[in-house]
A and B are shown apart, each in its own frame.
Chain A
């Protein structure tokens, strides 16, 4: 069982609300990622970080933002949620050591925007 946590697990909110999805890991991993996954579809990378104060946008255009102030914490924020943001959001982390590239995923946050 990976030591990576996400809260909340489920969230239902109205359009226009600001939300923050929390992700934390206790494995000391430098690399962290946010993915978006719709039912039956592949994971799409929306943000990643190599370490503290490092954040980059991923392949899928996203209106969300992230921050990496501490190694263990990688929150994702939506300033104004819209129904199109309804999806599952998965956080992951991995070690930077060569050969230790396996990503460990959190349980995910299922977001429903009404």
Chain B
């Protein structure tokens, strides 16, 4: 069964600190992996998208890594800000269908305290 598991389920950190969110997947075949940020009451917004050949990709203070061999990804947030408080969702796409089906994790709820 294709699955996407994220950890931790929730995380509280102080402003200015770094943190790392984890995503493990069993989706096969694999096309790409994306990290989305979803603010409360809003739709998800794409942070990064990584294909099989990419190991790391950065977007401002967000750095995503991908190990396609172990089927693991991480999202590292540097120097956290209050505005980083949100749910971070890992999404994996297969290439087994024309649609390129997406498998969603349940997200990690990050809270940044001042």
Contact = CB atoms under 8 A, between A and B. Distances in A.
Interface of A: 2, 4, 6, 40-45, 48, 90-92, 101-108, 110
B43 A102 contact: no
B99 to A, nearest CB: 7
Contacts, number: 45
Contacts of B106: 40-42
B76 interface: no
Contact of A108 (B43, B99, B105): B43
A102 B102 contact: no
Given A40-B106, A41-B106, A103-B102, 10 more contacts: A2-B43, A4-B43, A6-B43, A40-B109, A43-B44, A91-B43, A92-B43, A105-B43, A105-B45, A108-B42
Contacts of A106: 43
Given A41-B106, A42-B106, A43-B104, A101 B93 contact: yes
Interface string B99-112: 11010111101000
B26 to A, nearest CB: 14
Interface in B1-52: 4, 32, 34, 41-46, 49
A2 B61 CA distance: 21
B32 A101 contact: yes
Contact of A90 (B43, B93, B102, B105): B43
14 contacts: A40-B107, A41-B106, A42-B4, A42-B107, A90-B43, A92-B43, A101-B49, A101-B100, A104-B46, A105-B44, A106-B43, A107-B42, A107-B43, A108-B41
